[in-house]
Amino acid sequence: MKAFVVEKYGKDGLRAADVPDPTVGDRDVLVRVAAASINPLDKMVRDGEFKQLLKYERPFTLGHDMAGVVTQVGAKVRDFSIGDEVYARPRDLRIGTFAELVAIDEEDLAPKPESLTPHEAAAVPLVALAAWQVLVERAQVTPGQKVLIHAGAGGLGSTAIQLAKHLGATVATTTDTATVELVRTLGADVVVDFTRDDFSQVLSGYDVVLDSLGGQNLAKSLTVLKPGGLAIGVAGPPDSGFAKQLGAPGVLGLVMNALSRKVRKQARALGVRYEFLFMRASGAQLRELGALYDQGVLRPVVDSVFPFDQTLEAMAYVEQGRTKAGKVVVAMQPASS
């Protein structure tokens, strides 16, 4: 089958290749990919940023989420049948959605939301799971709380705004001038145009911040939290919980804590908290999220669709910052098909 594989770590390490069809285990579902989408995580894994924790055996197929059709099921699979339309973010060490076929553990898989096209559904799994795990699981957002979501026009931000609003929060976001109206239509109550204003000078008293940018943006985010508030970073720095989640040796947990010591110290000085979140695969959560898409509570935001054979161009488009809003999708067939 055709796939895009990481031969070596680095910007030039991804290439098109013919590789064997995936092996299907007893609890696996083989899916013919209809579409996949580009995530910042793809670049990070391609560049080897997690190679000490995620030990992929090169060459390996890249790609972290997809929508497609079931073509084969393992002997112990009970919840899926050939012909089912599905979507997923395969678990770490079993990624590989930039390919014609991918074998996915049935626990990571869910029925595709009926209201979404395959192209739309492919844009959803990773960012929707991340938003759910930040806002519902980790922060446990309740009605009336104030939530700041950075980069509101991005794939994660546009999803998190909608979910936070559904949870009853007052939602603020940062974005640029061109997408101010978009984030308002997604549900943002307060919009800070970062090209004109510094969010840390105009916002205060927030219960939760979702930071996808890291660095100085994260440090400033701590200052807008009320006492006891929580900043959750998905761009880092990581903490010991990340190493524990991946089952890494204890010494790596100490290393992760060292990386985040500065920001955690800053948070303590302000009477607030910082935690790192690295989203995980969950078919059960995708089922819950799928219902929200079908109810119209959530809607995907798709920037553009590239043909599958232009996956490298799609990656470059995202890396060059050309995405205007939402996700970039790579598809086996044109959107009109």
Q: Which residues of 42-68 are buried (b: 16+ CB within 10 A; e: fewer)?
A: bbebbebebeebbebeebbbbbbbbbb
CATH superfamily, domain 126-276, is: NAD(P)-binding Rossmann-like Domain (3.40.50.720)
Task: State the Cα–Cα distance between residues 74 and 66, nearest whole angstrom.
Answer: 19
Q: pLDDT digit string (tens) for 270-311?
A: 999 999 999 999 999 999 999 999 999 999 999 999 999 999
Task: State the Cα–Cα distance between residues 318 and 224, nearest whole angstrom.
Answer: 29
* Listed residue (124, 59, 52) closest to 96, CA to CA: 59
DSSP tag of 110: E
CB 74 within 8 A of CB 26: yes
Q: pLDDT digit string (tens) for 208-241?
A: 999 999 999 999 999 999 999 999 999 989 888 8
Q: pLDDT digit string (tens) for 243-258?
A: 888 887 778 888 888 9
Is pLDDT above 70 for 335? no
For the chain, what are the domain ranges? 2-124+300-331, 126-276
User: What is the average pLDDT across 122-138?
Assistant: 98
Is pLDDT above 80 for 334? no
Is pLDDT above 50 for 199? yes
User: Under 8 Å CB-to-CB from 110, ≥6 apart: which residues?
Assistant: 86, 87, 88, 283, 284, 286, 287, 290
CATH topology for 2-124+300-331 is: Quinone Oxidoreductase; Chain A, domain 1 (3.90.180)
Is pLDDT above 90 for 174? yes
Task: State the Cα–Cα distance between residues 15 and 9, nearest whole angstrom.
Answer: 11
The pLDDT mean for the chain works out to 96
pTM (two decimals): 0.96
